[in-house]
Structure 1
Amino acid sequence: MGRNLQTTRGLRPVDLARGHGLSTQAVRNYEEAGILPTADRTPHGYRTYTPLHARALRTFLALVPAHGHRTATSIMRAVNGGDAEGALRLVDESHAQLLDDRRTLDAVERALRDLEPDPGPDPAPADLFIGPLARRLGLRPATLRAWERAGLVRPRRDPRTGYRVYDEADVRDARMAHQLRRGGYLLEQIAPLIAQVRAAGGTEPLEVVLRDWRDRLATRGRAMLTGAAELDAYLRAR
């Protein structure tokens, strides 16, 4: 089957570019990058592509939204270099990363959902020193100091006493860290999640970010299905 595709009449770069919104230079660049198989040349030096090249181009363009440009390029280079197993390993690694991203998202959503109501009597509690905050969370002060070294909380210092002072956002971060630690997460896993909350300006804005994040993961997952189908067809054609 691959031989039939290779021996079909030649296609020009513009024939491959047309219909994909690409320039002919982009097609030539893809060949030079190893994304497309090496093309034959006419006696005058012009590239001659085949339906196999067209299938390779479709495969690459389907892999990009699924795995990113760099990984898609590496997959195509592996296939065109005869290393199908290496290409499939790259696909597996990308799927594993997607699963890890889903688990991270689940952890953030669960931590936000399971945050217990603040037991403090005031609707807007005053700033806390390390001792009162530790008692409120049922922790030791040493634990909060360890979390600070890991970047989970960032209390300021009282200019007169030098004591740590935790404002409302610090208390929120400490409670979220406490919830995630109870769920078995390591400090190095929690730090980027806390950073997401800070970057969003709190938990409420983060909910919008999380919905968008989940939509993007779902889109990527569906793109992986499309990319897998195209890659399978290309492997069979070769």
Structure 2
Amino acid sequence: MSGDDPRRVELAERLAAVEQRVARACEDAGRDRSQVTLVVVTKFFPAADVRLLAGLGVRDVGESRVQEALAKAQEDALAPWPAPAGERLTTHFIGQVQTNKAAAVVGWADLIHSVDRPKLVRALDRAAQAAGTVQGVLLQVDLEDGADAGRGGVRPADLPALAELTAGSEGLDLAGLMAVAPRGADPDAAFARLAELAAEVRASYPGAVVVSAGMSGDLEDAVRHGATHLRVGSAILGARPGVR
């Protein structure tokens, strides 16, 4: 595809701007840029955009709807990418997972960010064992403590039990925590709380080092409080197209 393709140029400019923000946030926090993974959230955008992003060096992409992710995979947009040195796209599922979709998500995602209840842990564990794999998962924490159940997440008080169940599951690898800052609240305070919870989980499960936090509007706060993965969509891809 021509380097002058308007969409490619737009994505390149937006990606560069976000990369500058991340680099500056890391510098301000005294962290190395290599400690933070940028996950480009491609939900609702076409497979063509995923291919353009891969050509621009993006290696981590996120989706939140199972059918859309599978459709893009069938177009090879989210299949292992024939990049230099054997690199491939790492796929992240960031949306709520229905238990009856567990097998499909396990078959697609390298890392599932949104595990928030025992029933889902058991469904993903069964699916992973049936597939002969170990599925990486993050536990989504509800930083609003039940005030907005529609966004998902385990309440902090119930986190230790869910972590214990997940860590004891043969087919799952407890990789860490994920959270979304509450609407209208100070993201700095929210991510400070997430950092505390992440430290508590790591004390019992040292391998749970991932902290998935921060999006287009609050990534600097997330980096300051130790986020290892940022989930950025609109700042890179632009306004979300009409949902089909």
The answer to which structure, 1 or 2, has the higher relative contact order (CA under 8 A, 6+ apart) is 1
Q: Per residue, is there more helix in 1 or in 2?
A: 1
Q: Same fold (TM over 0.5)?
A: no
Q: Which has the higher strand share?
A: 2
